[in-house]
Structure 1
Amino acid sequence: MKTIKLLSFLLIIASLTSCSSVRVNADYDKKANFGSYHSYAYLKSGVDQAQISDLDKKRILYAIDDVMATKGFSKSENPDVLVSIFTKESERVDVYNNVGFGWGVGWGGPYWGVGYNNVSTTPEGTLFIDFVDAKTKELIWQGQGTGYLTQNVDKKDERIMQFVNKILAQYPPEKK
């Protein structure tokens, strides 16, 4: 009985933490010299094309500014890299199969029971952050983070900062 309670508790914790996490991935040009990049500016055409509200764009750019400052980067009129963003939104569909069989006796006589499926959807977004070499105009690094979105205005800043922190934690890439 204790084992069942422990497993139930762990399943609840796992489902709660999986909803709050941001799944990240990054790719980069192995020939780029990441040690030579110290300043940045935003690629206006890329930022303008992001399919999100202007307020959310500002939240993302402010978060990028904060993280880039901690990495020793400064904004510049003559930058080493150009930063662009791109977003995608989708519905995450989770199907929980509660399959079970059983039988019992009731007022109407014996009966059989069968399990059921539970389906839930959650809005999920992906944020791409691209770094483009300002001189060559070639993509040198791309990070992406995917996770649930919130419509709660009070929590948007925090959630966007989580996305940006986790994505940019992979920059600069470690040479192997």
Structure 2
Amino acid sequence: MKRIGFVIFLVIGLGACSRKLHIEREPNIAIEKYRNYTWNKLEATKASHPLYSSEELNETIIRKVDKILAQKGFRRNIATPDFFVDFHIYVEEQKFQNLVCGAGFYRGERYLPDLSQRTYCESPEIVNYDNGTLIIDIVDAQTGQLVWRGAAEEIIDNPAYAATVFEKKVKRILRKFPSSKGETKAKKQDVEKVISVN
């Protein structure tokens, strides 16, 4: 029972960590004045599992970004872009060691308390998971300067669901991106950190 409770606590704790959202913006650039964009040359994803670097995943993210930017009033225009869009995916394999300790032992079906006040620990259980980070960059087409960056992390328990997970991260990140009319859609529960990009 202790083990089940601890694993549930671990999952809840990891889920809380996965809600991290980080936004950086160059304060001297009026992104709201931009109108057109195009995609920059995408960097290949470095990950152990092939599903994290698949064309399907890249196309899913590109379609979602295009859709949200269109809703915000930006147009995709290869000939005369005001800014470039780029994204990066980083996936790290993480391991957590779950060590269960107690002050008694089971013999057969019966629990026998250890009256000597000694503790014993079972063999550690290793919990594996992937920590995925999606970064979306906005670069000024004239100067090549990074003017906006959004990043969000997520725990991925199955690489087969990577496209769905990162599609939701795109929506969450770009919710903070200003529209061409100067409006920003945001929710109070999102934690935003705005700093100057050097």
Residue aligning to 1:67: 68
Q: Distance in 1 between matches of 2:75 and 2:174?
A: 15
> Of residues 112, 118, 122 in structure 1, which corresponds to 2:125?
118
Superposition pairs of residues 11-160 of structure 1, within 5 angstroms: 12=8, 15=11, 18-19=14-15, 21-43=18-40, 45=41, 47=42, 49-51=43-45, 52-77=53-78, 78-102=80-104, 114-116=120-122, 117-149=124-156, 150-152=158-160, 155-160=161-166
Deviations 1:26-68 (A, max 9, x none): 212121112212322101x2x1x22222221111101111221
More helix by share: 1
- Match of 1:130, SS state, is strand
List structure 1 runs of 4+ shifted beyond 4 angstroms: 16-22, 103-107, 109-113, 173-176
Letter in 1 for 2:44: A
How many residues are treated as equivalent by the alignment?
A: 163
- Match of 2:143, SS state, is coil
Q: 1:115 to 1:28 in 2, by over 3 A?
A: same
| Aligned-residue offset at 1:83 | 0.2
CA contact (8 A) 2:134 2:166 kept: no
CA contact (8 A) 2:38 2:76 kept: yes
Structure 2 residue runs without a partner (length 5+)? 46-52, 179-183, 185-191
What is the TM-score when the length of structure 1 is the normalising length?
0.73
Q: CA RMSD in A?
A: 3.5
Q: Distance in 2 between matches of 1:63 and 1:156?
A: 14
Structure 1 residue runs without a partner (length 5+)? none
What is the TM-score when the length of structure 2 is the normalising length?
0.66
CA contact (8 A) 1:50 1:85 kept: no
Deviations 1:97-134 (A, max 9, x none): 43322368889x97566233322111222221110011
